[in-house]
Amino acid sequence: MGKKIAVLTGGGDCPGINPVIRGIVRRAIKQGYLVIGIKNGWKGLIEKNTVPLDLNSVSGILPKGGTILGTSRTNPYKEEADLKRAKANFKSLGIDALIAIGGEDTLGVAHRLYKDGFNLVGIPKTIDNDLSATDRTFGFDTAVNIATEAIDRLHTTAESHHRVMVVEVMGRHSGWIGLEAGIAGGADVILLPEFPSDIDEVCSLIKKRHGRGKTFSIVVAAEGAKFKKGREVLQQEKLDAFGHVRLGGIGQILGEEIEKRTGFETRVTVLGHIQRGGSPTAYDRVLGTRYGVKAVELAIEGKFGQMASLQGNEITSVALEKAVGTLKTVPEELYNIAKIFFG
């Protein structure tokens, strides 16, 4: 009785985080634990910015997108002074266990803190679905549904104006959103980071389709997609706290090249953060809830250095070290299925 569990959310927000927080608070309180939220990710631990979480705090947040705790891309290991403050605050707050909700960067910090002797448990969060130690991350299903709906809507305007529509979706190093939304939305070409594309081949597929009497085409491109004779397209060269550049712009380049090479009028839509926002799907609400409950159980059992993980239909756990070791990318087998429908 009286033990304290803390929770933070780091990195990009996504639909389903609040159901996770709700699951954590409900499960922990039933076991007699106190729960505090750390505001704005690792930045909040550095600044000792916390808020108590009780049943009233999480009432009504199940369908709410984003995160009630706020988030940031702060890396406490970047500056020695920040790391010292974070570790000192962890101790002074009397935290018995900290549950970190995040992707590879946030969980990478959690793993390092665990190695430094702190009690950490992780929960996988990314709309990219690119964490290798879990079959599914919450937020992904919502993002795919949002992207699919957008593609469906673009179909009607593309057909009306006899245009090629290029849709840029999120996906830095893995193209899961582009793959699944592209297949579900009936895209005529899908470009992913895992498989560098040939612009001539893309244009040839579009010409082939139009040669069959079709007057419009839909091209889906992940933001991290690249051409065989080129590098990733960047919004800016500046690195964030975890050493990442900001990707984006592939859609515009692709649109210009398609119009120039085919003569077909082309328009570009960048979905961007629309994919992150709004209410989570039922699937993500349930998955997030299950992750939150499992994380508390891991903390109660003293199974630190672990991450809640979906394996098949079962929520189990894996070592954080394994969770952040490699990214889960789209296998060629699945991409070959998508290519059946190209052109």
Continuous segment of H or E residues that includes residue 164: strand 164-169
SS3 204: helix
List, in sequence order, the alpha helices (H) in 268-313. Answer: 282-300
Say if CB 231 and CB 189 are below 8 A apart: no
To 5 degrees, how large is the angle CA 43–CA 291–CA 111?
45
Closest to 131 (Cα-Cα) out of 321, 340, 334:
321
The values of phi and psi at residue 3, to 5°, are -70, 155
Contacts of 107 (CB under 8 A, 6+ apart): 100, 122, 124, 131, 307, 320, 323, 324
Closest listed residue to residue 330, CA positions, set 140, 113, 124, 151: 140
Q: Which residues, 6+ apart, have CB-to-CB distance to 329 below 8 Å?
A: 130, 173, 174, 175, 193, 194
Contacts of 143 (CB under 8 A, 6+ apart): 14, 15, 127, 170, 177, 181, 275, 276
Is residue 307 classed as helix, strand or coil in its secondary structure?
strand
Helix (H) or strand (E) holding 25: helix 17-30
Rounded Cα distance between 152 and 150, Å, is 5
Query: How many CB atoms neighbour CB 283 within 10 A?
Result: 15
128 a catalytic residue: yes
Cα separation, 329 vs 178, in Å, equals: 12
Catalytic residue among 82, 128, 141, 188: 128
Active-site residue numbers?
128
